[in-house]
Amino acid sequence: MADVMEERIRSIQRCAGWCFALGSIFVSIAILVYPAFPEVNKTDLVLSQITRASGESWIALHALMIVGFFLVTVGFSALAFLLHLKGSSGSASIVATSALLGGGLWIAFLCAEIYAYRFLANLYGIDPGGATMLFSIIWFWKLAALVVAGICEFLAVFFAGLAVAKRDVVPAWLGVLGALFALIGTLYYAMEFWMSMGTGAAIQPMQSPIARYAIGLPLQLWLLAVGALLLRGYFMSMPVKRVAPARRGGATEPMPGDAPEKPVPPPQIYPG
């Protein structure tokens, strides 16, 4: 039974490690190259900037983000299962639920934007007013959904950071550092939402340099560090194949647990 549990932990370390490492790299690239929209509430300017962009690069950027958020979501789900095996079932439930909800919202709206890009770009060339009106509905729904998705991702990092520090999955300082950045991100999003209630304007904290480079990018580096530590634990716990010491004459000594060799019967000698 102990061997089965050890193999489960190693499998989770491999899955979560690779997903965190690759997913954080993809999302970090998207954070660095994603265009900034100075006036998110002026949808005519936003749509004009989007339609002027190269369609192939815009679709490729969104596809990169979809793959990145998918891998990060799988990594959080695997990490939640690891925390469950180590006794933190409550934190594991919050981590898994928050990551699945946040990652699902990101992936759903990014896929919708890929599908709608060609249609809106063609419609904008024919009827700019109608395209802007249609885009406004999609845009404001997207902004609200991604704010919720961002808060869910912060909650996943916060509870995962505290749990992995408590269960010695990663060094305690690294887990607490991730939880601290996640708490700052949650407070920043909540403050932006509170300030927008008086004006009724849409918010998109992801466009702010503070959210992108002071919160989002460090969190991706934190995921990369956690993934690297999980992979190191996986490779260090790989079973070593035992080699029996050689005996005189080239034979090897039997190892404990090996099946005993059958004795060779003496040759039969028949008269005549």
Query: CA 226, CA 95: separation in Å to the nearest integer?
Result: 15
pLDDT of 257 > 60? The answer is no
Give pLDDT, residue 153: 93
pLDDT band at 146 (very low <50, low <70, confident <90, very high): confident
- Give the Å distances, CA to CA, from 18 to 73, 75, 132, 237: 12, 8, 41, 16
- Give the Å distances, CA to CA, from 80 to 87, 100, 166, 185: 11, 11, 14, 21
Q: Where in the chain are the domains?
A: 11-236
Give pLDDT, residue 255: 54
**% of residues, the chain, pLDDT over 90:** 36
User: Cβ(65)–Cβ(26) under 8 Å?
Assistant: yes
pLDDT band at 272 (very low <50, low <70, confident <90, very high): very low
pLDDT band at 207 (very low <50, low <70, confident <90, very high): confident
pLDDT band at 23 (very low <50, low <70, confident <90, very high): very high
Give pLDDT, residue 123: 77
Residues whose CB falls within 8 Å of the CB of residue 135, separated by 6 or more in sequence, listed in order: 43, 46, 47, 120
**For residue range 211-254, what is the model confidence (pLDDT) as tens digits?**
888 898 999 999 999 999 999 988 887 765 555 555 555 555 55
Least confident of 32-41, 86-95, 138-147: 32-41
Query: CA 150, CA 182: separation in Å to the nearest integer?
Result: 10
Give pLDDT, residue 144: 79
pLDDT of 57 > 90? The answer is no
Indicate the average pLDDT of the chain. 82
Give pLDDT, residue 15: 93
State mean pLDDT over 143-157: 89
